[in-house]
Structure 1
Amino acid sequence: MTEAERVDQLFETWNNQDSPGCAVAVMRDGNLVYKRGFGMANLAHGIAIGPATVFHSASVSKQFTAFAILLLSSEGKLSLDDAVRKYVPDLPDFGVPITLRHLLHHTSGIRDHWELLSLAGWRYSRDLITDDDILAVVSRQQDLNFQPGDEHLYCNTGYALLAQVVKTVSGQSLRAFTSARIFEPLGMRHTFFRDNYAEVVRNVADGYVKTELGVEISNTNFDTVGATSLLTTVEDLALWDENFYHARVGGPDVIAGMLERGRLNDGSEIGYASGLGIGTYRGVRIVEHTGGDAGFRSDLIRFPEQHFSVAILANLGSIVPSDLARGIADIYLADVLQPVQEPAPNTFSQPDANALELLTGYYTEPRLAGGVARLATHEGKLLVGYDIEYGRYALEAVDDRRFRFSDFPNYEIELEQQEGQPATELTSYLDGKRRYQYRRLPAYTPSSKELADLAGCYRPVENDMPYEVNVTEAGLAFKSVKSQEITLTAVAPDHFLGDGDRFTFTRDADGRVTGMLMNSGRIRNFRFERL
């Protein structure tokens, strides 16, 4: 069986007229050695996907925004150490400088605009979202997630702001600038930043998601660029990819800048450069970025030492292009990839039900803004979940106090426990390196009076969308006019979990409830005041 035939097999699931699918391109030594489409670009009209099908590429867009910034820097029109407010004065003054470099590396501490918009009432991919909308919610931010440069936390807002910087410095929209300076010189004839969601685009794929009712359309509704909204094809991405070897556009210095990893204030290097992730796969260096918006998924992965790359653009939300791209690399680069390290067989006897029960409960890590881990049992197995109400990942014991994730054996946890007593601490490890230490929370069930004391109307201090906290049969529920109701699960007095978010009610010196703090994946200590 040829390499191409083996690649075909990876995509066989979507190779029919009843399913969305993806376009695939494989590049080796500057040549397109494989390109094909699988599934349908438009189910309603029976239009198949091909290598020339145009897709929304989601966060794969970020590398092009970063490239535009580095082009302007190379021409002396800006410095990466310039303060963002020099070019975007609507950004609040947080009392500390936030630079373009911080935005490029996701180290700014600014909150992510998708979550800010959601809290302000926007419904993702249903209500129109514009650059002005993003600037409006960003301009009302009162706090940062952390001091700029202290941490790396992925933030779409940074790249939306960088698009505004390009516009201010060049006098052109990001779309016009990148088309003239990047896409046209490279012959990327079907690539551009879409800044009008209603624009008619030839040969463009619709996005889809699977639901209980079947496959449904799931398109973006964005008039915003920078962090997302690049339309492209896998054939055009092949032309872009080759520029990293020959630097026809930008020159060697810009290419080198694209691959320079960010550094934190403590001097440590992160795995993110300018719109690109730098890492390894099976012992070989890779440069990669994925994307996901609505029903679209994407991945562009490069193996620079092997001059080998894979581009995948998909229009079904359940497709995982990064896994498929690695599967393609397994086929073409089998002679250079290191063998997959199989976990050592686990012969340790698993604890009985009584022993597992002593481990169950909630644990919290203060360094993660009150992040919570929950251990629970199900059908004789220990499960762990982070910031969710029920365990998500199965664990298996490897010694008396240490467990590894059944599906991800390089992740482990260790429990601190006295003989016959409930565990008191949980420490997480990745590849044997200690990461976080959680302390067990005492078991807690709020009384009906305690719940009633927390019920009321709360307003985010950074927008005007009121939220109701109501007492229900399940406990507390959190809802606004435009959001779905979130059930809140108590983990400690005044501390609750809901839909992956953490809610902490605040009180004054007399014990009266005055507000609430919300923590989620990309927002920390977002404040609500009680009305």
Structure 2
Amino acid sequence: MNLTKKAIILPLLILTATVSSCKKEDIKATEKKELKDSELPKNVLPKMKPLVNESPKLAASYVAEKHRRIDSFYKKNWPNNSMNGGFLVAQNGQIIYEKYEGYANLRDKTPITADTPIHIASVTKVLTATAILKLVNAKRLELDQKVTEFFKEFPYPDVTIRMLLDHRSGMRNYAYFTDRDKSIWDRHNTLTNQDILTIMATKNIGLEQRTGTRFAYCNTNYAMLALIIEKVTKMSYRDAMAEIIFKPLGMTNTFVLDFDKDKKNVAPSYKANRVEIGIDYLDKIYGDKNVYSTPRDLLKFDRARNSKSFLDPRLLAQVYFGYSNERKGTRNYGLGIRMINWENGKNFYYHNGWWHGFTSSYITLKDENVTIIALSNKFNRSTYAVRKVSVLFGKYPFQVKDVE
């Protein structure tokens, strides 16, 4: 190679290396930049972000006093160690009270610990709604978008995503239209989310009431939302929930049940008399249920939902707006969250769950930054009584006798 060619090639090599280096630096800078959900590339999923360094740190004397009073409630609510599950109360993300007792599996005496995943039943709806809301925030779908835009065979043309979230679609519960008539479904076969959609599209399943006319809590709504998550993300519901919520928040003991793989490996549920409840044909449906989690993982989830990065403020306001007041009253339902709205202006946000023998309660006291969670795999309505603990933190007008 002569000197003239060397003089041309060497600067070109240097220029190429410099441009390549600059591109890499640009990519690194982009990766480090905190993008809003709406600014994300279309091939990147929005993700929940942990809420860290909450303040102020609670005083030791304050924690001790709250702990004493919550412990008194615990002993009265679940006498003789009758909970068989986990119970947690935290403020500003700091755990004030935590208790685990009983057995995940009574046959082999596997104890329930802080790391034992328990089926959270309809509290799953809060998580499904959260994934949908993150996708709305990222402009991958719209609240008032028709479900028929995602599934042409969907037979109810006026139903929107918002109506699925707030239970105003008018659809019938899938458990009711699949449990009696074999021409619709043979209960010897395990039902899937896609099966529900196909049945509604082909078996002339009528509406329970006209779309948009009133609130009617219905699991079918959230089974359809799970299918929409799959359609938009091009992933299974299980993987999408992990990518959007579980992994980013470090929810290491939370997962969507893989029915065929894990149905015999997860904690079973029991009747109040400790008789095990078996698996039935509805146990493969997800979105409305079938998430397993722990109180500690749900605490991480709750704090992330209360962070400023969760949603655009205009969208967040719609989440906590009541959509079910056909008649004047205090009980209401937002976008994936139950609520009680008292005339004194105090609002109570929560969601309960019940599936087989599993009972669950998730409470978020937004004004006081308090999280209350109870999960059990042995049927006991006392799980829902944990709302009474809220009176220890704010002026919630519950009539209580067992919280000192």
Q: Identify the TM-score tier after normalising by the shorter chain.
A: 0.7 to 0.9
- Out of 272, 276, 289, the position equivalent to 1:217 is 276
Unmatched segments (≥5 aa) in structure 2? 1-64
**Is the aligned partner of 1:5 residue 2:71?**
yes
Q: Note the C-alpha offset of 1:88.
A: 2.0
Deviations 1:111-168 (A, max 9, x none): 11111121235698x8633223322332223421222111110111111111111111
Structure 1 counterpart of 2:113? 50
Structure 1 counterpart of 2:228? 165
Structure 1 counterpart of 2:379? 317
Structure 2 counterpart of 1:205? 267
Deviations 1:236-261 (A, max 9, x none): 01111112321444455554443233
In 2, the alpha carbon distance for the partners of 1:293 and 1:197 equals 19
CA RMSD in angstroms, aligned pairs only = 3.1
Q: Do the aligned partners of residues 151 and 200 (structure 1) sit closer, same or farther apart at CA in structure 2, a change above 3 Å counting?
A: closer
Q: What percent identity do the matched residue pairs reach? A: 25
Q: Give runs of aligned pairs for residues 246-395 of structure 1, distance below 5 A.
A: 246-250=307-311, 252=313, 255-262=316-323, 271-280=332-341, 284-323=346-385, 325-330=386-391, 332-333=392-393, 336-338=395-397, 340=399
- Out of 72, 83, 102, the position equivalent to 2:163 is 102
- Out of 185, 190, 193, the position equivalent to 1:131 is 193
- The answer to whether the 8 A contact 1:111-1:144 is kept is yes
Tell me which amino acid in the other structure corresponds to 1:314. S
Q: Give runs of aligned pairs for residues 174-185 of structure 1, distance below 5 A.
A: 174-185=237-248
In 2, the alpha carbon distance for the partners of 1:13 and 1:127 equals 41
Q: Note the C-alpha offset of 1:272.
A: 0.7
Q: Do the aligned partners of residues 282 and 259 (structure 1) sit closer, same or farther apart at CA in structure 2, a change above 3 Å counting?
A: closer
Structure 2 counterpart of 1:238? 299
Larger RCO of the pair (alpha carbons < 8 Å, separation 6+): 2
Structure 2 counterpart of 1:118? 179
Q: Note the C-alpha offset of 1:220.
A: 4.4
Q: Do the aligned partners of residues 46 and 112 (structure 1) sit closer, same or farther apart at CA in structure 2, a change above 3 Å counting?
A: same
- The answer to whether the 8 A contact 1:299-1:321 is kept is yes
- The answer to whether the 8 A contact 2:214-2:324 is kept is no
- The answer to whether the 8 A contact 1:219-1:295 is kept is no
Q: Give runs of aligned pairs for residues 132-147 of structure 1, distance below 5 A.
A: 132-139=194-201, 140-147=203-210
Deviations 1:257-301 (A, max 9, x none): 432332689999981111101115896421011111111111101
Scaled by the length of structure 1, what TM-score is found?
0.56
Q: Note the C-alpha offset of 1:7.
A: 3.6
In 2, the alpha carbon distance for the partners of 1:98 and 1:30 equals 38
In 1, the alpha carbon distance for the partners of 2:145 and 2:327 equals 20
Structure 1 or 2: more strand by fraction: 1
In 2, the alpha carbon distance for the partners of 1:258 and 1:166 equals 18
- The answer to whether the 8 A contact 1:205-1:315 is kept is yes
